[in-house]
Amino acid sequence: MKGRTVTYSPSITITVTHDCPKHCLYCGFRTDREGLISWENIEATLNNAHRFGATEVLIMSGEEVEKFPHIREQLKERGYKTFVDFVYSVCETVLENGFLPHTNIGVMTYEELARLREVNASMGLMLENVDPWVARKVQPQKNLRDRIRTLEDAGRLKIPYTSGILIGMGESVESRFESLQILADLHKQYGHLQEIIIQNYVPNRGSRLRPYPLSLEEYKELIAYSKEIMPEVAVQIPPNLNPYWLDLIEVGAEDLGGISPEGDHVNIDNPWDQITFYEEALTQKGYRLSKRLPVYAKYYQTVLSFPGKIGKYLKAFINNEP
Ligand code: SF4
């Protein structure tokens, strides 16, 4: 529909550590011995966030990083019992500096999610893909049941959530629809999915899997299916990764995700263009690009009711909205 508003979140990323004990074939993000980010680097990132006018700070890491002895050692040195305690502190610092955290640090327990929702506007975890070949060959150390359980626990806790599918890794066509159906079933039960990302795999330095690009028609079918089975959940297309992003807005995608002038920490070879580039491209097609917070407006009341500090800080943002 022409005239429709397309949204994005002005964002910046803090990668608390790239270290990850898993070895997914597509990953160009993971490292083994980097350790935890320093407080000086966090401060420098937040200073940049002020200059860039970001509202969201995306907080990321590898998964289950406490499996590394050097991470456990570093946490102890800094006075933290657990990695989640450290991430909690990072989120508090982000809030105190005038930004809203959105945390995605992989699979988590119910208790960990409950703790982090006190200091996050929203959180996220990609479902990725249910294809058995992908599970066996591409990401053998990731456990699909753990991912679904994390998504369910986030639903029980009413955390506004971002999830999605990762495609173009050699998965079957059926598995893409099946993955969307699982997300739709979760949303039907808990109502917490604010957006789902339909993300195409793009290799990075360090990736060890060849891509299997989808056609425009294949993306269109996925968006149509997603809108059919979960019409109220926004579809996000990453414009720095998907060559068809503008065509996909025309068939129902509504959001471009977080956009950072500092680049994409996962897809380091694919930084975003300037916002004006997206703005002009959309305007030419009759759409309007608009900023949003990392939590969608329909979930504001839910987040305001959460225990902890997040309500106070979110209220300040809501009061400043035009
Ligand atoms: S994709 Fe995630 S879980 Fe897999 S190796 Fe990379 S950081 Fe680790």
Instruction: List all residues 6 or more positions away from 195 whose beta carbon is below 8 Å from its beta carbon.
Output: 162, 164, 233, 234, 235, 236, 255, 296
Q: What pLDDT is attached to residue 308?
A: 97
What is the b/e burial string over 23-57, where b = at least 16 CB atoms within 10 angstroms of the residue's CB? Answer: ebbbbbbbeeebebbeeeebeebbeebeeeebbbb
- Does 322 reside within a domain? no
- Does 125 reside within a domain? yes
Which of 89, 92, 129, 121 lies closest to 104 in space, CA to CA? 121
Q: Give dist(CA 265, CA 284) in Å, integer.
A: 30
Q: Which residues line ligand 1 (CB under 6 A)?
A: 20, 22-24, 27, 29-30, 62-63, 142
* Residues listed for the chain: 322
Which of 64, 72, 85 lies closest to 35 in space, CA to CA? 72
Q: What pLDDT is attached to residue 182?
A: 98
Q: Give dist(CA 198, CA 185) in Å, integer.
A: 17
Indicate the top mutation candidate among 18, 29, 204 to test ligand 1's pocket, ranked by most ligand atoms within 8 A of CB: 29
- Does 25 reside within a domain? yes
Q: Give dist(CA 167, CA 173) in Å, integer.
A: 9
Residue ID of nearest Cα to ligand 1 atom 1: 27
- 289 C-alpha to center of ligand 1: Å? 32
Helix or strand (DSSP H, E) at 94: helix 83-96
- 30 C-alpha to center of ligand 1: Å? 6
3-state secondary structure of 289: strand
The angle, 0 to 180 degrees and rounded to 10, between the axes of the packed helices 173-190 and 216-229 is 20
Q: What pLDDT is attached to residue 320?
A: 86
- 45 C-alpha to center of ligand 1: Å? 23
304 token code pair: 């305001």
Q: Give dist(CA 233, CA 216) in Å, integer.
A: 21
Distances (CA, A) of 50 to 12, 47, 53, 89: 10, 5, 5, 19
- The 3-state secondary structure of 193-250, one letter per residue: EEEEEEEECCCCCCCCCCCCCCCHHHHHHHHHHHHHHCCCCEEECCCCCCCCHHHHHH
The amino acid sitting at 231 is P
Structural domain including 211 reads 5-307
- Does 314 reside within a domain? no
Per-residue pLDDT of the chain (322 residues; tens, 9 = 90+): 567 999 999 999 999 999 999 999 999 999 999 999 999 999 999 999 999 999 999 999 999 999 999 999 999 999 999 999 999 999 999 999 999 999 999 999 999 999 999 999 999 999 999 999 999 999 999 999 999 999 999 999 999 999 999 999 999 999 999 999 999 999 999 999 999 999 999 999 889 999 999 999 999 999 999 999 999 999 999 999 999 999 999 999 999 999 999 999 999 999 999 999 999 999 999 999 999 999 999 999 999 999 999 999 999 999 987 6
Prediction pTM value: 0.97
Q: What pLDDT is attached to residue 285?
A: 96
Query: Contact, 282 vs 239, CB < 8 A?
Result: no
- 297 C-alpha to center of ligand 1: Å? 31
CATH value at residue 193: 3.20.20.70
- 18 C-alpha to center of ligand 1: Å? 9
- 300 C-alpha to center of ligand 1: Å? 31
Indicate the top mutation candidate among 13, 71, 142 to test ligand 1's pocket, ranked by most ligand atoms within 8 A of CB: 142
Residue ID of nearest Cα to ligand 1 atom 6: 27
Within 13 Å of residue 204, how many CA atoms lie on the same side as its CB?
Answer: 19
Residue ID of nearest Cα to ligand 1 atom 2: 62
List phi, psi (to 5°) of 74. -65, -40
What distance, in Å, lies between the first and last C-alpha atoms of the chain? 24
Neighbours of 81 (CB within 10 A): 10
- 238 C-alpha to center of ligand 1: Å? 19
Total domains, the chain: 1
Which of 30, 7, 13 lies closest to 94 in space, CA to CA? 13
Query: Contact, 86 vs 38, CB < 8 A?
Result: no
Q: Give dist(CA 160, CA 230) in Å, integer.
A: 15
Indicate the top mutation candidate among 15, 30, 66 to test ligand 1's pocket, ranked by most ligand atoms within 8 A of CB: 30
Which of 231, 243, 240 lies closest to 196 in space, CA to CA? 231
Q: What pLDDT is attached to residue 322?
A: 67
Neighbours of 194 (CB within 10 A): 25
Neighbours of 246 (CB within 10 A): 18
- 111 C-alpha to center of ligand 1: Å? 22
- Does 317 reside within a domain? no
Hunting for tokens 């993300």 — which residue is that? Answer: 199
